[in-house]
A = this chain, B = another copy of it.
Amino acid sequence: MVKKENLTQKQSNVLKTVYEFIADNSYSPSVRNIAEILGFSSPKGVSDHLAVLEKKGYILKNSSARSIRLTEKSLWHLGVQNPSIKNNVDYLPLLGNIAAGKPIFAEENIQEYIPISSQITGNIKCQFLLTVRGDSMSGDNIIDGDMLIVKAQNTAENGEIVVALIEDDEAVVKRYYKREDEAVELRSSNPLYEPIVIKGSLWIQGKVIAVYRIIP
């Protein structure tokens, strides 16, 4: 699930107002435009909000007038496309070290947003990118440094390649098999690695749908 808690409801409202103004007018609102729309009687309230939004990485501003630009992060937050871009790409967050306990989409996990052709994503939301560490899936020709496109979901079918969190460990990429005794086996495709058998807590984060690799 996409975490929106990084912004308060009010901050999110201001961001949404900026988005809608740009979508309608193709240029940025002034501080006082936003204040009027939201019913503020002072420009300072908006100015403060914008400063917070900039600090949190949701907008970019120049010192000049009407120069607010939305970042990919803000578009992700609002769940919309760039108002001025007829989108044939979706921006997927590249997640860093996913560790148990933290929400998977926590801000500190998001390294950057990378545009992926919507022909690949199918415009399905809740997908993310993950960089492979190690060679445990080399039997599936997935190697260290590969980027995975993962569809976020918390269930899996037998044999699917999934991203999962186990106990206090970081995220692992493995093939999922549910045994008859209800335990789950996470199998590496590199025979040098033993299957991981989990009887307790296992959090499936998503299913790998594509692999992308830049040849060095």
Contact = CB atoms under 8 A, between A and B. Distances in A.
Contact of A66 (B27, B89, B161): B27
A110 interface: no
Contacts of A213: 141, 210-212
Interface stretch (A7-15, A113-121, A180-188, A192-200): A113-121
Contacts of A212: 120, 210-213
Please state the number of chain copies in the assembly.
2
A117 B118 CA distance: 10
Interface stretch (A41-49, A79-87, A97-105): A79-87
Interface in A6-65: 25-28, 30, 62, 64-65
Category for how many chain A residues contact B = 35 or more
Nearest to A90: B117
A115 B210 CA distance: 15
B209 A64 contact: no
Interface string A109-134: 00000111111100000000000000
A158 interface: no
Interface in A118-169: 118-120, 138, 141-143, 161
Given A120-B212, A208-B215, 5 more contacts: A27-B62, A89-B117, A141-B142, A210-B212, A210-B215
Interface of A: 25-28, 30, 62, 64-69, 82, 84-86, 88-89, 114-120, 138, 141-143, 161, 208-215
